[in-house]
């Protein structure tokens, strides 16, 4: 059963790559580097970086760098989560993550990413499969004007290429036991292949005890900034020690967070 789940999730990731490549064409001369622009979703990245978090390839230029994509759209992420309304239609998150028996961790040049093809997230009867989680320092979303030291994104997809992301804020506090499971294996340098290691770990242990959340529809926070992403940002942060936050941050580009985007006419709901 584990092998079937792994094959299914790899197929989902591959299908999503093909979909985004056909809908968002890179400028001439960048050819297959488009894979690198969907860092939020794919399992592996193996191409030269053509966008960054500063300078001429920084966020304010993403819409120019990646042609025919959504970086200049009107439903972009992240946002400042303020002024949310209660929505009785929202339900508790239906998460069915299970323990994983192999660590697959990657420094893709933009973030530290852990592939995790074991578990599902059900939204309105639709099953989204967990693909990976990765980190941003500081947080990309703000809560009522407050930015946290870090944010972790759990990325999910469906066979129809729908995307849902759970965002969890990370506050400075006590040492995070879950992070310690892959603490020594985080790659210091960008690599084409992930580090693989037989290791039992359970992503459920990273989730906050109370799972109240903010919900809105936005986009990926990296090029191609694909819109239509369902966001569920936990209200309650988890904690990590100052040392853990500093180490994870040091392995990623400085300030690897996209600036807050305009809300426009979107509504933020809360559960």
Q: What average pLDDT does the segment 95-117 reach?
A: 94
Cα separation, 110 vs 222, in Å, equals 9
Q: Within its chain, how far is the Cα of 215 from the centroid? A: 15
- Long-range pairs of 242-247 with CB within 8 A, sequence gap ≥ 24: 242/172, 243/175, 244/175, 244/176, 244/179, 244/183, 245/137, 245/149, 245/150, 245/170, 245/172, 247/183, 247/186
Q: Which of 7-11, 146-150, 183-187 has the lowest mean pLDDT?
A: 7-11
pLDDT band at 109 (very low <50, low <70, confident <90, very high): very high
Preceding omega of 253 cis (within 30 degrees of 0): no
Confidence of residue 103 (pLDDT cuts 50, 70, 90): very high
Residue 241 scores a pLDDT above 50: yes
pLDDT digits (tens, 9 = 90+) for 2-55: 444 444 444 444 444 434 444 444 333 333 333 333 434 444 333 344 899 999
Of the listed 110, 134, 141, 215, which one is catalytic? 110
- Could you give the 3-state DSSP secondary structure of residue 151? strand
% of the chain with per-residue pLDDT over 90: 76
Q: To 10 degrees, the CA torsion angle through 203, 34, 60, 165?
A: -20
How confident is the model over 91-120, as a mean pLDDT?
A: 94
Computed from CA positions of residues 79, 44, 117, 176, in that sequence, does the dihedral angle turn out positive or negative? Answer: negative
State residue 117's pLDDT score. 86
The pairing of beta strand 163-172 with beta strand 227-234: parallel
| Whole-number Å distance between alpha carbons of 166 and 235 | 11
What's the pLDDT tens digit per position in 59-70? 999 998 877 678
Is 156 a known active-site residue? Answer: no
Which of 29 and 113 is assigned the larger pLDDT?
113
Q: Which residues pair with 142 in a beta bridge?
A: 80, 147
Cα 149 from Cα 137, distance rounded (Å) = 6
Q: Quick one: pLDDT at residue 69?
A: 74
Helix (H, G, I), strand (E, B) or coil at 55: helix
What phi, psi does 2 have (nearest 5°)? Answer: -60, -40
Instruction: Give residue 68's pLDDT.
Output: 65
Pairing of strands 195-201, 100-107: antiparallel
What would the pLDDT profile of 193-219 be if each residue is shown by its tens digit? Answer: 999 999 988 999 999 999 999 999 999
Taken in order of first residue, the domains within the chain and their CATH numbers are 2-270 (3.10.200.10)
Give pLDDT, residue 66: 78
Average per-residue pLDDT for the chain: 85
Decide if pLDDT at 86 tops 70. Answer: yes
pLDDT at residue 118 in the model: 87
């Amino acid at each position: 059963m584990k092998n079937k789940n792994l094959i299914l999730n790899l197929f989902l990731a591959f299908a999503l790559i093909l979909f985004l490549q056909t809908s968002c064409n890179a400028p001439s001369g960048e050819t297959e580097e488009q894979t690198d622009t969907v860092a939020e979703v794919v399992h592996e990245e193996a191409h030269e970086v053509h966008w960054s978090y500063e300078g001429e390839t920084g966020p304010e230029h993403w819409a120019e760098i990646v042609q025919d994509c959504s970086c200049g759209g009107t439903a972009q992420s992240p946002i400042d989560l303020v002024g949310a309304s209660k929505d009785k239609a929202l339900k508790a998150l239906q998460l069915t993550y299970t323990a994983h028996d192999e660590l697959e961790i990657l420094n893709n040049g933009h973030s530290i990413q852990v592939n995790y093809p074991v578990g599902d997230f059900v939204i309105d009867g639709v099953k989204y499969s967990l693909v990976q989680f990765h980190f941003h320092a500081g947080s990309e979303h703000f809560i009522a004007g407050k930015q946290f030291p870090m944010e972790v994104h759990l990325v999910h997809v469906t066979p129809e290429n729908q995307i849902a992301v759970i965002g969890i804020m990370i506050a400075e506090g006590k040492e995070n036991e879950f992070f310690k499971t892959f603490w020594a294996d985080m790659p210091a340098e960008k690599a084409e292949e992930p580090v693989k290691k037989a290791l039992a770990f359970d992503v459920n242990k990273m989730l906050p005890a109370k799972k109240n959340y903010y919900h809105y529809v936005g986009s990926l926070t990296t090029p191609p900034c694909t819109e239509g992403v369902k966001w569920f940002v936990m209200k309650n942060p988890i904690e990590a020690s100052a040392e853990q936050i500093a180490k994870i941050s040091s392995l990623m580009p400085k300030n690897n967070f996209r600036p807050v985007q305009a809300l426009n006419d979107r509504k933020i709901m809360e559960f």
